[in-house]
Structure 1
Amino acid sequence: MKKILSVFTVLFFLGNQLSWACDVCKKNQPAGFENITHGAGPSGTLDYVIIWTGVVIVAATLIYSLKYLIRPQENNPDHIKNIVKNEGF
């Protein structure tokens, strides 16, 4: 187990180091996106709208999934969870 954990730790830090942008890409990235990835960054207003729309959708999905996982508030006795619960699966 310790061997696997140490291998994953090394791969994590090595992968993290390899994913940073090179010097040329750092200079070509717009402010706020430098040193994140290789290649051209967002080039116009539409690109930023798409990025922030995606961020909002992912954040809302995360919030609602945690909300319904922590407190589902399903009290209906005919709910499907009670079929599994009552039949002893």
Structure 2
Amino acid sequence: MKNLKYIIAVIFLFVAELAFACEACKQQQPRLTQGFTHGTGPDSRWDWLIVAVIALITVYTLIYSIKYIVKPGEKDKNHIKYTFLE
């Protein structure tokens, strides 16, 4: 189990290194996204609109995922989930 923690830590550090932009890409990015991604960034206002809509959808689904994991609210004893829980 100790090895698993080290493997997860190494994978996390590797992914974190890849997630941030290199020096050449940092110079090409707009000020808002500078340092976060590789490439030149959004070119037009439509690109920013698409990014904003995707971000809103992601936050919305994250909030509702956490909400229904923490407190699902299903109380019917005939619900299919009880077939797996028993």
Q: Look at both structures and tell me which one has the larger radius of gyration over its CA atoms.
A: 1
TM-score by length of 2: 0.76
Counterparts of 1:1-89 in structure 2 under 5 Å? Answer: 1-82=1-82, 84=83, 89=86
1:41-82, Cα deviation, whole Å (9 max, x unpaired): 011111111111111111111111221222222233443335
Supply the distance in 1 between the matched residues of 2:5 and 2:78 (Cα, whole angstroms). Answer: 45
Q: Which runs of 5+ in 1 are unaligned?
A: none
Supply the distance in 2 between the matched residues of 1:74 and 1:59 (Cα, whole angstroms). Answer: 23
Task: Flag as ranges the 4+ runs of structure 1 deviating above 6 A.
Answer: none
Q: Which amino acid aligns with 2:69?
A: L
Supply the distance in 2 between the matched residues of 1:73 and 1:18 (Cα, whole angstroms). Answer: 40
Q: Which runs of 5+ in 2 are unaligned?
A: none
CA root-mean-square deviation: 2.4
Are the structure 2 counterparts of residues 13 and 75 from structure 1 closer, same or farther at C-alpha, using a change threshold of 3 Å?
A: closer
Supply the distance in 2 between the matched residues of 1:4 and 1:78 (Cα, whole angstroms). Answer: 39
TM-score by length of 1: 0.74
- Percent identity reads 36
Supply the distance in 2 between the matched residues of 1:15 and 1:76 (Cα, whole angstroms). Answer: 42
How many corresponding residue pairs? Answer: 86
